[in-house]
Chains A and B, each alone.
Chain A
């Protein structure tokens, strides 16, 4: 029975040599693809920085838009983006997390749940302009929120809801079954298990999902144009905090607004070459904001992984 005879040392070595070559080949191929991707991003970023280099400066951040390129700045756009992101996070987080908890911990596994799950995943692929049209009808006209920060925040919240739901479910699912059983075994209800255990232990993943969602939303232009973002805003919305009672006010929610990508879009579409530099500078800043948010997401995930290690 030659087929089952033991291999000689030479046979083992010659076979192993080729297999290890293949292993190395894969490493080289993989690494070059990764580097190519990073390279494209780096070139894009550096190009934006170079084109916009003349405009970087304190004035750019503290000026309103202007007809003169060298005097225009991103103050109203940056403030608008910040407010919109705040509304988006506040609206999308509770709704998304609640939906994920329901689907993961409560929903019976039947065809109805299956349809809901497929549709939640599909929602992530709906073109953002469609969300814009929906929001124009619903938030702007039906609910009468108008062309406001509130409308924009809610629209982007709809847009990132599927991202948050999927990320949260993933995170909830990573809590071991043994932990759930331990809590159920002590007589906890489903709500108590979710509130006291599953949710706190998956906070890291949920926050990561939120930030990844927000970094998608921060660059969205189409839905904001649809619901009527303005590109020329030469004032700031009323401050949310004031010195007099009741200290908080929500007037800013109803304020008109502009946002970073809208401002960029406006500048890019101007014939005057000088505005191109403004657009490039704003683009670099927006890209920087996105990278910073993703960095924060990675840091949060790292922190929570270190604390809870199953």
Chain B
């Protein structure tokens, strides 16, 4: 089980960005409003400082080569969506960012995910996965609050970080709940069990729990797939607001959702990153045939 970390090659990621740029210069199909093109020009991956960048990332479940040389920059304070058909590796890729795979035996990383500003390689064997998870928050597919009170759910991450002062705790819990747009609904029932909340409220509570520790990067793994349309709309709105404070990476199987909430979209297929670009361009004028086929519903 060697976990050799190859030296990050910036050349590769530059090439990827160059490829993304080339997509810009393509002629827009007729009917695309010119306004959106004007906005698109400013929105390129290269134009943003990346908060994290995956460089030549390979990942194995046992002998199953699940991720094949992924190069992707995650722009700071933007929402980046990962789309692709089931089994394409998008969730696997997301879970590399907080080393969730380390909980399973027989998994192996190779390559690098560098987190700015200190350029720590998140998937390096020398880096403690707990240290990584303390910097990077995650919201899961199914709402998974602890069977404790609403307050204790949000406070747990802070307690792990040694916050003991009750006033300080209360203050930070309130702020996290406000940031997750759920404060007004739960402020009178902070001591009630979190399991008494509705599905949508639980998921926003989980977002508050992740926000409480002020993560540098927030991962969402299909956060609305277990929710009804109204709860989904609230979560999407919340994600759009959160981008001002935190860098977001979201996996979604719902292309409309990617189009609604994200600034950048990466399309993955069979463990490879096919294309990444500004969301509006991916959905109107993808540069790769595979992306276009997926988006227009020819497979997936």
Name A residues whose Cβ lies closer than 8 Å to a Cβ of B. 108-109, 176, 178-189, 192, 196-197, 201, 307-309
Contacts of B147 in A (CB 8 A): 179, 201, 307-308
Provide a sorted-by-A list of 12 A–B residue pairs whose CB atoms are within 8 angstroms. A178-B140, A178-B142, A179-B146, A184-B100, A185-B100, A186-B133, A186-B134, A186-B213, A188-B160, A189-B130, A192-B160, A196-B156
CA distance A23 to B32 in the complex (A): 64
Find chain A residues with CB under 8 A from B130 CB. 187-189
Enumerate chain B residues within 8 angstroms of A178, measured Cβ to Cβ.
140, 142, 144
Interface pair A109/B146, CB less than 8 Å apart: no
Residue of A nearest to B137 (CB): A185
CB pair B156 A186 closer than 8 Å: yes
Separation of A108 and B157 alpha carbons in the complex (Å): 27
Q: How distant is A90 from chain B, measured CB to nearest CB, in Å?
A: 28
- Which residues of the other chain, A, contact B133 by a CB distance below 8 angstroms? 184-187
Query: Which interface residue of B142, B144, B210 has the most chain A CB atoms within 10 A?
Result: B144
What count of chain B residues pass the 8 Å CB interface test? Answer: 25
Contact B144 A179 (CB under 8 A): yes
**Interface flags, B171-183, vs A, CB<8A=1, else 0:** 0000000000000
Which positions in B face A, CB cutoff 8 Å? 98, 100, 103, 105, 130-131, 133-134, 137-138, 140, 142, 144-147, 156-157, 160-161, 195, 206, 209-210, 213
Task: Give me the 3 closest cross-chain CB pairs, A-B, nearest first.
Answer: A187-B134, A178-B144, A186-B157
A201 surroundings in chain B (CB, below 8 A): 147
A238–B93 alpha-carbon span in the complex (Å): 66
The residue on A at minimum CB distance from B98 is: A185
Interface pair A181/B156, CB less than 8 Å apart: no
Chain B contacts for A182, CB-based, 8 A: 140, 144-146, 206, 209
Min distance, Cβ B1 to any Cβ of chain A, angstroms: 11
CA distance A197 to B160 in the complex (A): 13
Q: Which residue of B lies closest to A308 (CB)?
A: B147
**Across-interface contacts of B134 in A (CB, < 8 A):** 186-187
- B160 to A181, Cβ gap below 8 A? no
A186:B209 contact, CB within 8 angstroms: yes
